[in-house]
Structure 1
Amino acid sequence: MNKFVNDNLYETRNNLVKEIVLLSDDQLNSKPDMNMWSIAQVCHHLVLVEEASIKAIAWGLKESDRTQKERKNIHFILLDRTKKIKAPKIVEPDVESFEVPQIIDLLNDSRKKLMAFLSTIEDKSILEEKSVKHPSLGELPLDQWIEQIYLHEQRHIEQIIEIKLLLDVKH
């Protein structure tokens, strides 16, 4: 994995934790509107997406016939928040309440799993050669599956900032 992607995974996760670490459990679990997720649910969704991405990449590495050369402009797609993307059922968050340290532990655990998994891939160039269908983005090269993790997280950090404003949480 290249340094740029690694740095973005690290930096984005740090930015996410900074947004939530000082929240009370009430703020973490409050919904500004019944049709919106709480900040806890957004974070739980990010954990589920990261874990599902590991499974998808692992599956894609095992497949022999999934080759794809076409790369997508996933930065543009994921960072354009004017277009709502419905979360597939498999990555919908729990409705139960979470505590701040619990959410941070879940985020840390999923990131450790991702980094441990990626460290097992000896020939990283294979990530550009194989692809797996992404539920929202379509057929996606495996290296872009890794990129979509931090881009998706950046998208949701913006959502968390909006939720905090709606809840009138001070930065």
Structure 2
Amino acid sequence: METRNSLLAEIELLNTTQFNGKHEANSWSIAQVCHHLVLVEESSIKAIAWGLKQGDAQKTERKNVQHIADRSNKIIAPKIVEPAEDLFTVQQIMDLLNVSRKKLITFLDTIEDKSILSEKSVKHPALGELPLDQWIEQIYLHEQRHIEQIKEIKGALESTSNTL
């Protein structure tokens, strides 16, 4: 919850221009970064649900998922979690973030025996075969990664507007 609150604090006071502005032509706007986070959270729910349905429990070794938060480690987003090119309002994205988080919490609440999450795994696009409980952990770490990106974008946009 703390990570999500930090994310919301970073974006809630932005105007539409700041939110949708790009500091480089082929980079993402803050709105797109946030849309990507929504898509990742929703995709993670699907991956965990799929992993739980797999009959043969495949336990895999735990990974150091902390490095997903490291921005010096470049990761290309899979097509399925690439953000839309649409313009978004801050409120639209905050609503989408709230809905995806509620879906995640509701989904996790349906899992009676949480220990099964460490017994089964699904292949993660950046981390490889990953225990399902670490899929949950990577959502928060991934969000921390992108909070840093949002701060960088804000700084770049600010310096661009100051030089005009």
Pick one of 63, 79, 82 that aligns with 1:89: 79
How far apart are 1:66 and its partner, in Å? Answer: 4.1
One-letter amino acid of the structure 2 residue matched with residue 12 of structure 1: T
**Deviation of residue 105 (structure 1)?**
0.2
Question: For 2:59 and 2:33, how far apart are their aligned partners in 1?
Answer: 31
Provide TM-score, normalisation by structure 1: 0.91
Gaps of 5+ in 1: 1-9
Q: Give the fraction of aligned pairs with identical amino acids, expressed as a percent.
A: 70
The one of 95, 120, 123 aligned to 1:105: 95
Instruction: In structure 1, give the amino acid aligned to 2:88.
Output: F
Q: What is the TM-score when the length of structure 2 is the normalising length?
A: 0.95
Preserved CA contact (<8 Å) 1:79 1:155: yes
Matches of 1:137 and 1:66, distance apart in 2: 19
- Give the match for residue 3 of structure 1: none
Select between 63-72 and 85-94 the one with higher mean Cα deviation: 63-72
The one-letter amino acid paired with 1:18 is A
Structure 1 residue ranges, 4+ long, deviating more than 3 angstroms after superposition = none
1:146 equivalenced with 2:136 (yes/no): yes
Pair 1:117 & 2:117 matched? no
Q: How far did 1:69 drift?
A: 3.4
Amino acid at match of 2:92: Q
CA root-mean-square deviation: 0.9
> How do 1:20-99 residues align onto structure 2 when only pairs under 5 Å count?
20-75=11-66, 77-99=67-89
Distance in 2 between the 1:69 and 1:34 partners? 40
SS at match of 1:168: helix
